[in-house]
Structure 1
Amino acid sequence: MRVEIRGGRILWPDGTIEEGSLAIEGGRIAGPTRATGLCAHRVIDARGLLVLPGIVDLHGDAFERQIMPRPGVEVSLAVALQETDLQVVGNGITTAFHAITWSWEPGLRGREMAYRLRDAITTMKPRLAADTHIHLRHETFNLDAVDEIIDWLAEGSVRLLAFNDHTPEIHARINTPVRLQKYAERAHLSVEDFTALLRRVWERRAEVPDANRRLARAAARARIASASHDDETAQMRQQFHALGCGISEFPKTVDAAATARDLGDPIVLGAPNVMRGGSHNGSIGATPMIEQGMCQILASDYYYPSLLHAAFRLAREGVLPFHKAWALISANPAHAAGMTDRGSIRPGARADFVLVDDEQPALPRVMATVVAGRPVFQANRLLAAGF
């Protein structure tokens, strides 16, 4: 089907924004067109709107709130994923990575839920509007799962692998049962049973480095990008870089981030941090890191609308030119994930777009989202215009 986007202000790869029209054929960008009389099965009237590359979100876990809207209350995974998909495309995200944590803990982040989510996403994928993938967050002390995860990588179930290492932080609280309460509740265990499990897991800590090496090699064989999560030191980033783990996700210190920058490893920080003007938990501020060249990618983390608003805020406050701010949520994450077919508006690329009303720069609004040439979200104005 031929689609034409007419009259929008298009963001081109060189950073210029010019009014024009785009032809889409077979889900790909056929190229710019000046003519308005070309035969198109569908015309998208983008007059007055920005036409931007679709947002690529490498790390979003807000779907967990759809699964469990209240503690202990779980809804159907199909319903949760469908609702999440509406939120995703409604906020201009055309490629979504659902960050699934597979830990040694049972419950929401345990083995059973990991398998259920993988199977649900695989089953639902044809129904989902966004191009949806799994970002597997492997807890490094989850040693019993290593062989299974290697199988997942080989069969293509995972599109991004992250190494999480929260166990030392949890173990530091082992002699203070009240501080383990929230972890025990999340795992659906008593504090006593959770403490016993934690002790057994901690006893195997010497096995973790070899397991990390095996998983990193498996990801490389499968040509899957990998990331380390919460790098605390320069040494930690260097170690993961040596494993071929080329993305630094949410580094916790400036030293770790600076090392990643010097190694040429893209750094992922949270868009909510930029949107809100700082971290919600006292972590390093994303905006100063961007100013120092220590952040190449923003991710939605826990709030899908943050990507759009973060990019506009960075441009509005003069932190980055608009095209570079938008690259943090489009071209840069696409490149880091090895997705060379998207992230910018160019002939031959996937026709993934978000149309934005920027009349109020402090409150940009997604008016339409197009995934692989197919309109999947449209606001009332465009519906009324015959979109």
Structure 2
Amino acid sequence: MAISTLSLCFADGEVLLADGLTEANISIHDGRIAGRAARHVDATGYLILPGIIDLHGDGFEHHMAPRRGAQSDPALGLRAVEAELASNGITTAMLAQFFSWEGGMRGPDFAEVLAGAVKDGHAATDLHVQLRLETSVADQFDRARALIARENIRYVVLNDHLPHSALAAGKRPPRLTGQALKSGRSPEAHHALLQRLHDAMPQALQALAGLTADLRAQGVHIGSHDDATAEDRARHRAFGATIAEFPETRAAAEAAVAAGEPVIMGAPNVVRGGSHDKKVSAEALIADGLVRALVSDYHYPSLHRAALKLWDAGMPLQDAWGLISAGPAGVMGWGDRGCLCPGRRADLVVMSEKTRRIEGVFCAGRVTHLTGELALRMVQ
């Protein structure tokens, strides 16, 4: 069923353009930023900002499994996810879904279920799947390749969460029992699986090179997760991973930027004032021009909160908000969103200037969130 789009003009608000905030009118019509509209809405007292683009968020997981083992209907879970995304100004979201040996909600079975639900869900928010591929699961690479093609997944991130140090030393890995319970395996079976995957890593990496070459030829973006060193970045670059997601150190971030590769950091890192596990500060990297985009990571509200925090600290709003709009659009090569330019998709966030509460969100000209005084003005 088609979802109707609006034709209206937000009048006399503060609109964020390329050179900053300016008092202006902005119209949306037929799903695009337009020069005309059927009716006017008084936007005095509101900031009108580009819709937020989130390239990596796993906050959806708690909607899919409110309690451990209690998975909900994916379609119902996605409705709750979409409501949370919209209320936080996110108009394009990539759900960061594992394809991993960890099993459960991080296993291939659930990845296939989620991707199918996203494709068939008809959400008003623009939802995508980012596949977080564990590099050790070579026996599942053909299955991953088929999933990526079938569901048109455009962004794959390489992960390696195997506890290699413990496995190489013949020791019991940390947190083994908890991981085993989540996966539905006995601790002994889980340990044996990890050891087998560790021992077969040379063969897995050979297979990975072929897989990523195929994916890049199909236009799939490849990123790497948690590079700790410049050498890590170079190693992943050799597999075609040209996006550095959550580098753990300044050296890894600088190596990416020197090679012309975008660096993505977590917005919660900015909001908290640093990494929760003592890794490099996102705010420090941003100050030095090393970050192209912020993502929600595990907390959707952190995206707009991080941009506003940077603005309060003296960063021009167009640059701070650009980290959650134009920046991520550029990373993915999306030329139809990320700014409030004529002809672009009508993705807007309408925020109270006084309270900084998001009261209206529009994706391709469709209402995805509406509340407060703005709702009253729009229905009058």
Q: Same fold (TM over 0.5)?
A: yes
Structure 1 CA distance for aligned equivalents of residues 129 and 165 of structure 2: 25
Report the residue type matching 1:162 in the other structure: V
Matched, 1:163 2:158: yes
Q: Unaligned stretches of 5+ in structure 2?
A: 1-5
Cross-structure match for 1:35? none
State how many pairs are aligned.
Answer: 373
TM-fit CA distance, 1:71:
2.0
1:76 & 1:155 partners in 2: Cα distance? 21
Aligned partner of 2:48 in structure 1 is: 51
Q: CA separation in 1, counterparts of 2:46 and 2:60?
A: 29
Q: 92-101 or 371-380, which moves further after superposition?
A: 371-380
Aligned to 1:179: 175
8 Å CA contact 1:233–1:255 kept in 2: the answer is: yes
Residue of structure 1 equivalent to 2:335: 340
Q: Is 1:353 aligned with 2:348? A: yes
In the alignment, does 2:157 pair up with 1:153? no
**1:300-315 matched pairs, under 5 angstroms:** 300-315=296-311
Does the 8 A contact of 2:41 with 2:377 survive in 1? no
Distance in 1 (CA, whole Å) between partners of 2:166 and 2:208 is 20
Alignment partner, residue 245 of structure 1:
241
C-alpha displacement at 1:24, in angstroms?
Answer: 1.8
Query: Aligned equivalents of 2:37 and 2:72: distance in 1?
Result: 45
* Structure 1 residue 177 displacement after superposition: 5.6
1:11 is the counterpart of 2:16: yes
Aligned residue identity for 2:366: R
Poorly superposed stretches of 4+, deviation over 6 Å? none
Contact 1:225/1:336 (<8 A) preserved: no
Structure 1 residues 177 and 58: CA distance shift in structure 2, 3 A: closer
* Aligned sequence identity (%): 38
1:383 corresponding residue in structure 2? 375
The equivalences for 1:22-41 within 5 A come to 22-31=26-35, 40=38
CA–CA separation in structure 2 for the residues paired with 1:64 and 1:211: 29
Tell me the residue number matched to 1:374: 366
Shift of residue 229, structure 1, vs aligned partner:
0.6
Whole-angstrom distance in 1 between the partners of 2:141 and 2:336: 31
Deviations 1:203-241 (A, max 9, x none): 211123223322322222221211111112112212322
| Counterpart position of 1:34 | none
* Residue of 62, 71, 79 corresponding to 1:74: 71
List alignment gaps of at least 5 residues for structure 1. Answer: 32-37
**Alpha-carbon distance, 1:282 to partner:** 1.9
Query: Structure 2: how far apart are the matches of 1:302 and 1:311?
Result: 16
- What amino acid does structure 2 have at the position aligned with 1:377? H
Measured in 1, the distance between the counterparts of 2:62 and 2:340 equals 33
Deviation at 1:45, TM superposition (A): 3.2
Relative to structure 2, which stretch is displaced further, 84-93 or 197-206? 197-206
Greater Cα shift, 79-88 or 115-124: 115-124
Alignment counterpart, residue 210 of structure 2, candidates 202, 209, 214? 214
Indicate the larger mover: 151-160 or 106-115. Answer: 151-160
Alpha-carbon contact 2:256-2:263 (below 8 Å) kept? yes
Q: Is the 8 A contact 2:225 2:247 kept in 1?
A: yes
Amino acid at match of 1:29: I
